[in-house]
Homo-oligomer: A and B are copies of this chain.
Amino acid sequence: MENHSSLSRRTILRRSAAIPAASIALGTAAHAQSSSGLPPAVPESMRTPGGPFLNPPYGLPSEFEKGVVRVLPAGNNPFPTGSRTPLQSLHGIITPNGLFFERHHAGVPKINPDHHRLMVHGMVKRPLILSMEDLMRFPSVSKIHFLECSGNSSSQYTGPSGKTAQEIHGLLSCVEWTGVKLSTILAEVGVDPKAKWILAEGTDAAAMTRSIPMNLAMGDAMLAYAQNGEKLRPEQGYPLRLFLPGIEGNMSIKWLRRLKIGDKPFYTREETSKYTDLQPDGSSFEFTFLMDVKSVILTPSGGQKITKGFHEITGVAWTGYGRVKAVDISTDGGKTWRQSVLQEPVLSKALTRFRFPWQWDGNPVIIQSRAIDEAGNVQPIRKKIIDKRGTNQIYHYNAIQSWKISETGEVTNVHA
Contacts and interface: CB of A to CB of B under 8 A. Distances in A.
Given A45-B255, A140-B355, A92 B226 contact: yes
Interface in A24-70: 24-27, 30-31, 33-35, 37, 39-40, 43, 45-55, 57-65, 68-70
Interface in A210-234: 225-226, 228-234
Given A59-B233, A62-B238, A62-B239, 4 more contacts: A51-B107, A53-B104, A54-B70, A90-B226
Contacts of A12: 141
A385 interface: no
B230 A39 contact: no
Interface size range of chain A in the complex = 35 or more
Contact of A226 (B39, B91, B102): B91
A205 B45 contact: yes
A57 B80 CA distance: 14
Nearest to A81: B53
Contact of A134 (B30, B110, B129): B30
Contacts of A294: none
A164 interface: no
Contacts of A343: 141-142
Contacts of A89: 230
B50 A137 contact: no
A19 interface: yes
Contact of A46 (B62, B207, B347): B207
Nearest to A258: B39
Given A58-B60, A62-B238, A121-B34, A91 B229 contact: yes
Given A96-B230, A142-B343, A235 B17 contact: no
Contacts of A59: 70, 97-100, 233-235
Nearest to A54: B83
A184 interface: yes
A16 B94 contact: no
| Copies per complex of this chain | 2
A37 to B, nearest CB: 7
A169 interface: no
A21 interface: yes
Contacts of A225: 91
Contacts of A314: 140
B230 A68 contact: yes
B30 A64 contact: no
30 contacts: A12-B141, A16-B139, A16-B141, A24-B138, A25-B137, A26-B134, A33-B129, A40-B117, A45-B203, A45-B255, A47-B205, A50-B107, A52-B108, A54-B70, A55-B235, A58-B61, A58-B99, A59-B235, A62-B239, A64-B113, A91-B178, A91-B226, A92-B176, A92-B226, A93-B142, A93-B176, A96-B229, A99-B230, A140-B355, A345-B347
A379 B60 CA distance: 35
Contact of A312 (B31, B51, B139): B139
A353 interface: yes
Interface string A173-204: 00111100101100110100000000000011
Contacts of A82: 53
A63 B233 CA distance: 10
A69 to B, nearest CB: 4
Given A127-B34, A178-B92, A24 B188 contact: yes
A273 interface: no
Contact of A104 (B30, B50, B93): B50
B110 A229 contact: no
A375 interface: no
A310 interface: yes
Interface string A373-400: 0000000000000000000000000000
B91 A140 contact: yes
A293 B9 CA distance: 24
